[in-house]
Amino acid sequence: MNILLLGSGGREHALAWKISQSKHCSHLYIAPGNAGTSQHGTNVAFGVNDFDAIAAFASNNKIDMVVVGPEDPLVNGIRDYFESHDALKNIPVIGPDKNGAQLEGSKDFSKQFMQRHKIPTAGYASFQRENLEEGYLFLETLQAPYVLKADGLAAGKGVLILNNLDEAKHELKSMLEDAKFGKAGNTVVIEEFLAGIEVSVFVLTDGKSYVVLPEAKDYKRIGDGDKGLNTGGMGAVSPVPFYDEAFRKKVEDRIIRPTVKGLHEEKIDYKGFIFIGLMNVGGDPYVIEYNARMGDPETEVVIPRIKNDLVELFKAVAAGNLHHHQIETDERTALTVMLVSEGYPGDYTKGKIMSGFENCEGSILFHAGTSGKDNDVLTNGGRVLAITSIANSIEAAKEISMQNAEKIKYEGKYYRKDIGNDLMM
């Protein structure tokens, strides 16, 4: 099969690495890809939201399947676009349609969905500009900290957690009246704060049945000890020790099964990944958010632990017979450390020459934000390189990733030194 993968981050490098190992994959194209994905296929220079270019490329290059990495093209309806064109409708797109992608694209939609299907989540109410005053009154009924979420996609920046009521009211006003997050904040979800430990679980579904992929923990803040500004994710670990059998069962019974059943009942033809961000509150799972894609950098630890042929699973998703499949996992621990650019998550530098790749042993180097120029690899993003190691313990996997993180050189390199420390026994 000829496969087109959309995206350019560490998630897409991990997917490209895995897809290219499939016996079903004859040629892999990645649009736009990065310097790492080009090791596993051919990068093609168009953006993930350029549906006309994607369609023309798919027709001209006999593409048999499109795999969508990031959320944007899903929320913008890439699946619907393919299904509505005669020349494209037989090319399966792995990812939900526009309606299904609302699980991520609209917090209000996802909260209502959870309510309809009795899926545990924080209590909430939604507000718009016209009912700002009601929003203030609702905030007064809650205890600090206050959680405000822009309804739409806000590049991971749309969630505010505030310790003080006046500050919460001020931020609500700036979201609703001053468009702090643009259109994404036309509706704001105000939620109860859930105190606990976060863990993410990943599901692949054909819209009716599903397989559960390995869980992972992400490290979101820029600084050690999980301090400082929020980022896309500075590292990840899988499996997660506190995700034990009892918790796993609760997640499947209370969250995963009702989610897939709910989608099916609502006639949402969901074919793709569901990433469920969970809070473990005293041993009980609550949904913090759904995403319509895999996580980044979680994919860089989840995918290497999956032994199945990924394209075979995707074919089953497209054909609607995923119930014939079971996930086989590597029991060992995968840990990834993200190297980032100076300044990230604020304004960061780009175009720095990278070296040291050949000195790294025992890790998989997933490029997150790199580009190739002549024979050089250059930094080309805030998050630059995910260094994944697999070993029998978190300690051992971390040791290997840290040694290799030292060996990669570029100006302004930064990474967290404490990935996995909180999970060590």
Residues of this chain that interact with ligand GLY (CB under 6 A) are 218, 232-233, 291, 295-296, 298
Region binding ligand AMP by CB under 6 A among candidate stretches 40-48, 82-90, 190-198, 407-415? 190-198
Chosen from ligand GLY, ligand AMP, none, partner binding at 300 (C-beta under 5 to 8 Å by type): none
Tell me the C-alpha distance between 276 and 279, whole Å.
10
- Site residues for ligand AMP, window 58-87 (CB under 6 A)? none
Q: Which helix (H) or strand (E) holds 78?
A: helix 78-83
Bridge partners of residue 212, in order along the sequence: 203
Chosen from ligand AMP, ligand GLY, none, partner binding at 233 (C-beta under 5 to 8 Å by type): ligand GLY
Chosen from ligand GLY, ligand AMP, none, partner binding at 194 (C-beta under 5 to 8 Å by type): ligand AMP
Chosen from ligand AMP, ligand GLY, none, partner binding at 122 (C-beta under 5 to 8 Å by type): ligand AMP
Nearer to ligand AMP, 71 or 191 (CB): 191
DSSP 216: B
Chosen from ligand AMP, ligand GLY, none, partner binding at 16 (C-beta under 5 to 8 Å by type): none
Q: CB of 161: closest distance to ligand GLY in angstroms?
A: 16
Q: Judged by CB under 6 A, which of 122, 240, 310, 384 binds ligand AMP? A: 122
Q: Judged by CB under 6 A, which of 104, 151, 171, 191 binds ligand AMP? A: 191
Chosen from ligand GLY, ligand AMP, none, partner binding at 364 (C-beta under 5 to 8 Å by type): none
> What is the DSSP code string of 381-423?
SSEEEEEEEEESSHHHHHHHHHHHHHH-B-TT-B--S-TTGGG
Bridge partners of residue 224, in order along the sequence: none
Site track 142-181 with ligand AMP (rule: CB under 6 A), x = hit: -----x-----------x----------------------
- Site residues for ligand AMP, window 268-297 (CB under 6 A)? 277, 288-289
Q: Are 425 and 237 in contact (CB under 8 A)?
A: no
Q: CB of 2: closest distance to ligand GLY in angstroms?
A: 27
Q: Judged by CB under 6 A, which of 198, 342, 399, 422 binds ligand AMP? A: 198
Q: Which residues of 232-246 are buried (b: 16+ CB within 10 A; e: fewer)?
A: bbbbbbbbbeebeee
Nearer to ligand GLY, 234 or 354 (CB): 234
Listed in sequence order, the DSSP H helices in 290-354 are 299-302, 310-319
Q: CB of 413: closest distance to ligand GLY in angstroms?
A: 20
Region binding ligand AMP by CB under 6 A among candidate stretches 26-34, 128-136, 189-197, 265-273? 189-197
Nearer to ligand GLY, 18 or 293 (CB): 293
Q: Which amino acid is at 365?
A: L
Nearer to ligand GLY, 336 or 363 (CB): 336
Chosen from ligand AMP, ligand GLY, none, partner binding at 71 (C-beta under 5 to 8 Å by type): none
Nearer to ligand GLY, 88 or 292 (CB): 292
Q: Judged by CB under 6 A, which of 46, 57, 136, 193 binds ligand AMP? A: 193
Chosen from ligand AMP, ligand GLY, none, partner binding at 159 (C-beta under 5 to 8 Å by type): ligand AMP
> What is the DSSP code string of 246-295?
HHHHHHIIIIIHHHHHHHHHTT----EEEEEEEEEETTEEEEEEEESS--
35 — alpha (psi -120 to 50), left (phi > 0) or beta? alpha
Mapping DSSP onto H, E and C, the string for 2-22 reads EEEEEECCHHHHHHHHHHCCC
Chosen from ligand GLY, ligand AMP, none, partner binding at 288 (C-beta under 5 to 8 Å by type): ligand AMP
Q: Give 235's contacts (C-beta < 8 A, 6+ positions apart).
A: 218, 219, 297, 335, 336, 337, 338, 415, 416, 419, 420
* Residue 147 φ/ψ, nearest 5 degrees: -110, 120
Q: Give 55's contacts (C-beta < 8 A, 6+ positions apart).
A: 81, 82, 85, 87, 88
Q: How many residues bind ligand AMP (CB under 6 A)?
A: 10
Nearer to ligand AMP, 147 or 378 (CB): 147
Q: Which residues of 123-134 are buried (b: 16+ CB within 10 A; e: fewer)?
A: ebbbbeeeebee
Chosen from ligand AMP, ligand GLY, none, partner binding at 191 (C-beta under 5 to 8 Å by type): ligand AMP
> What is the DSSP code string of 157-207?
--EEEESSHHHHHHHHHHHHTS-TTGGGGSEEEEE----SEEEEEEEEESS
Tell me the C-alpha distance between 202 and 213, whole Å.
5
Using DSSP's 3-state secondary structure scheme, residue 24 falls into coil
- Residues making contact with ligand AMP (CB under 6 A): 122, 147, 159, 191, 193-194, 198, 277, 288-289
